């Protein structure tokens, strides 16, 4: 691997060694103060460059980032003193020590499975030569979706860089190119599919204020599940709190629809083995339930902007239920379309990778005056087993698409090609479709009334409430059909409620 502008001539480091706790801000957050540094190893196969994509594995929820300062060893170190340790560091770069809390229990402090996955150690994009810069002069910052969430400096460390090198050199030879991840400050938290994490290290007080540039990683939703021949993901409430940072951060994430609440079960697995909250039981509960009924249950919980407005089904009577896979278009610009519109572009990737049971949701900025789906791509989605397509744009080859079985919700027909208004830009990110925010893995439900977006962690409780409401509404309709007035019946007053409960009890 090459480390940005600083060429070490080494394909991959022999060792990647990470420190458990080092920044006082993180130590205070964790509530335990180490007397000495402790370490774990990360495999070289976990390395990734800036601009890489990391998958949150199917069936997991707690993928966390940790922005860190990474040391690159120059002259080999063995039995060196703490005051000489820094001399063996050739360069400094940025790193992100990703970890999956769902697998923490598997290997205790060794972190092999929860931190050793492919792409779990992005580094770069450039490395800064350490010569002439002191070990206390470095700063690390982390941004999530453009918001600064971590900032700290090496002069606060419990265990300075020189001490880490010296300590490790007592037990093994640190060889040229080895990497030491020096710990993360407070602010580490969970990221979800669609999020972008950026880490940068700099030396603001050094001549020229050198910086690594931002190390960029984008999170997507993985589709492969872990087999039962190894440790399966599991989540506790304590892990949820620690992963998000603290109880307040977790509560805020729950309120924002990004986290599962305490006491929520881990992500379920459906009969096909795919990780999905849409279990057979949930599907049965929602069978025959109207979108309007589910939207009322969501409204009670404060979710009022969950409607994908302006879209209609291509077949009368179509319904749709599945997990979201997202595709985003940006406004047309000739140079961008030349760079991104041809070949295996984002649009083709989305249709070629949509999985069974997924709904492909397309952000077309509400523009109906060009096609965003055509007959070939719709057929490809149907062959792959997609549960449907939703676009807030137009559909080309509308009559041909109507002949397919796959439900397609759109603003209607338009003969124009994609390049008239759009550039296919990215997949598996948070999008805005028909005025609603949609994240990969959200639940998409639609019928003739429209299409709604259900946050996965709310699915079970709103499904149960909506199913019961649907039964009650059907009973009310029966009373009206028999001549009852709606006053007092819809909604039911105490008298009608008692009659309903009594009849339901008799049927049970």
| Domain extent for 328 | 304-454
What is the pLDDT, as a whole number, of residue 492? 85
215 within some domain: yes
pLDDT: is 133 or 9 the higher one?
133
Do 368 and 441 fall within a single domain? yes
Query: What are the residues whose beta carbons fall under 8 Å from the beta carbon of 508, sequence distance 6 or more?
Result: none
Q: Identify whether residues 214 and 354 lie together within a single domain.
A: no
Shortest CA distance to 194 belongs to which of 217, 215, 214, 213?
Answer: 217
Q: Is 202 annotated as a binding residue?
A: no
Q: Are residues 84 and 200 in the same domain?
A: yes
In a domain, 3, yes or no: no
Tell me the pLDDT band of 8, cut-offs 50, 70 and 90. Answer: very low
**Beta carbons within 8 Å of 499's beta carbon, 6+ residues apart:** none
What backbone phi and psi angles, to 5 degrees, belong to 89? Answer: -95, 120
Instruction: Report which of residues 168 and 340 the model is more confident about.
Output: 168
Regarding whether 308 and 219 lie in a shared domain, the answer is no
Q: Is 377 labelled a binding residue?
A: yes
CATH at 118: 3.90.850.10
Contact 286, 463 (CB under 8 A): yes
Q: Which pLDDT tens digit goes with each residue over 11-50?
A: 679 999 999 999 999 999 888 888 999 999 999 999 999 9
Residue 32 in marked binding region: no
Same domain, 97 and 210: yes
**Residue bearing tokens 């690594």:** 212
Q: What is the pLDDT of residues 480-506, one digit of tens each?
A: 999 999 898 888 888 888 888 888 776
Residues 308 and 217 in one domain: no
Domain final residue, candidates 435, 454, 473: 454
> Same domain, yes or no, for 63 and 133?
yes
- For 424, the token pair is 């296919």
- CATH number of the domain bearing residue 404: 3.50.30.40
- Measured CA to CA, the distance from residue 458 to residue 173 in angstroms comes to 52
CB 263 within 8 A of CB 99: no
- Same-domain status, 213 and 308: no
Kindly report, residue by residue over 234-289, the tens digit of the pLDDT: 888 888 888 898 888 888 887 776 777 877 666 544 433 344 688 889 999 999 99
As for how many domains the chain has, the answer is: 2
Whole-model pTM? 0.58
Exposure of 305 by Cβ count < 10 A (0-12 exposed, 13-18 middle, 19+ buried)?
A: exposed
- Determine how many CB atoms are found less than 10 A away from the CB of residue 416: 14
Same domain as 448, residue 313: yes
Residues 427-473: tens digit of each pLDDT: 988 999 999 999 999 999 999 999 999 999 899 999 999 999 988 88
Contact 453, 326 (CB under 8 A): no
- 448 labelled ligand-binding: no
Domain boundary among 209, 244, 279: 244
Residue entry with tokens 């002439």: 132
| CB distance 6 to 90 below 8 Å | yes
The pLDDT score that the predictor gives to residue 273 is 37
**396 annotated to bind ligand:** yes
Residues shown for the chain = 508
In a domain, 257, yes or no: no
Answer for the pair 274, 223: CB distance below 8 angstroms, yes or no.
Answer: yes
Look at residue 381 and tell me if it is in a domain. yes
* Assigned domain for 504 exists: no
Position 279 in a domain:
no
- The share of the chain scoring above pLDDT 90, in percent, equals 69
Indicate whether 184 and 312 sit together in one domain.
Answer: no
Q: Is 112 inside any structural domain?
A: yes
Asked if residue 181 belongs to a domain, the reply is yes
Q: Which among 225, 244, 263 is the end of a domain?
A: 244
72, pLDDT greater than 90: yes
Question: Shortest CA distance to 202 belongs to which of 150, 147, 141?
Answer: 141
| b (16+ CB within 10 A) / e for 343-359 | eebbbbebbeebbebbb
Same domain, 230 and 346: no
Is residue 397 part of an annotated ligand binding site?
yes
In this predicted structure, the answer to whether residue 178 has a pLDDT above a threshold of 80 is yes
Side-chain half-sphere exposure of 141, counting CA atoms within 13 A: 13
How far apart CA 353 and CA 95 sit, in angstroms, is 30
3-class DSSP state of 293: helix
Same domain, 363 and 231: no
């Amino acid at each position: 691997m090459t480390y940005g502008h600083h060429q070490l001539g080494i394909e991959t480091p022999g060792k990647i060694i990470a420190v458990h706790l080092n920044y006082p801000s993180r130590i205070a957050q964790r509530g335990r103060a180490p007397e000495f540094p402790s370490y774990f190893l990360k495999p070289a196969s976990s390395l990734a460059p800036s601009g890489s994509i990391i998958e949150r594995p199917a069936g997991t929820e707690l993928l966390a980032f940790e922005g860190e300062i990474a040391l690159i060893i120059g002259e080999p170190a063995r039995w060196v003193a703490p005051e000489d340790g820094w001399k063996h560091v050739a360069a400094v770069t940025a790193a992100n020590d990703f970890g999956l809390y769902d697998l923490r229990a598997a290997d205790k402090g060794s972190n092999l499975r929860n931190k050793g996955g492919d792409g779990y150690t992005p580094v770069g994009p450039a490395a800064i030569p350490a010569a002439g810069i002191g070990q206390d002069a470095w700063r690390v910052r982390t941004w999530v979706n453009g918001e600064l969430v971590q900032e700290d400096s090496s002069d606060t460390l419990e265990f300075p860089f020189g001490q880490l090198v010296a300590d490790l050199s007592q037990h093994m030879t640190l060889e040229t190119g080895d990497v030491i991840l020096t710990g993360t400050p407070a602010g580490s938290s969970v990221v979800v599919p669609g999020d972008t994490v950026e880490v940068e290290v700099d030396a603001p007080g050094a001549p020229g204020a050198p910086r690594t540039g931002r190390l960029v990683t984008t999170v997507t939703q993985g589709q492969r599940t872990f087999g039962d021949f190894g440790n399966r993901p599991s989540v506790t409430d304590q892990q949820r709190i620690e992963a998000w940072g603290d109880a307040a951060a977790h509560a805020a994430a729950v309120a924002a629809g990004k986290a599962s609440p305490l006491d929520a079960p881990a992500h379920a697995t459906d009969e096909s083995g795919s990780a999905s909250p849409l279990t057979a039981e949930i599907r049965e509960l929602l069978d025959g339930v109207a979108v309007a009924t589910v939207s009322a249950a969501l409204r009670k919980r404060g979710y009022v902007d969950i409607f994908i407005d302006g879209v209609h089904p291509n077949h009368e009577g179509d319904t749709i239920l599945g997990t979201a896979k997202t595709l985003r278009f940006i406004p047309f610009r000739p140079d961008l379309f030349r760079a991104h519109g041809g070949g295996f572009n984002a649009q083709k990737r989305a249709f070629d990778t949509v999985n069974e049971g997924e709904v492909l949701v397309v952000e077309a900025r509400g523009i109906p005056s060009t096609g965003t789906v055509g007959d070939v791509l719709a057929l490809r989605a149907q062959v792959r087993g997609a549960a449907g397509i939703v676009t807030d744009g137009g559909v080309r080859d509308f009559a041909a698409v109507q002949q397919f079985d796959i439900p397609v919700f759109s603003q209607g027909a338009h003969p124009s090609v994609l390049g008239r208004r759009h550039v296919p830009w990215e997949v598996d990110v948070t999008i805005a479709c028909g005025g609603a925010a949609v994240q990969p893995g959200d639940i998409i439900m639609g019928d003739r009334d429209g299409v709604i977006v259900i946050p996965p962690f709310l699915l079970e409780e709103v499904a149960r409430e909506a199913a019961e409401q649907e039964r009650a509404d059907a009973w009310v309709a029966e009373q009206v059909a028999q001549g009852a007035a709606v006053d007092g019946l819809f909604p039911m007053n105490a008298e009608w409620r008692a009659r309903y409960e009594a009849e339901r009890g008799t049927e049970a």
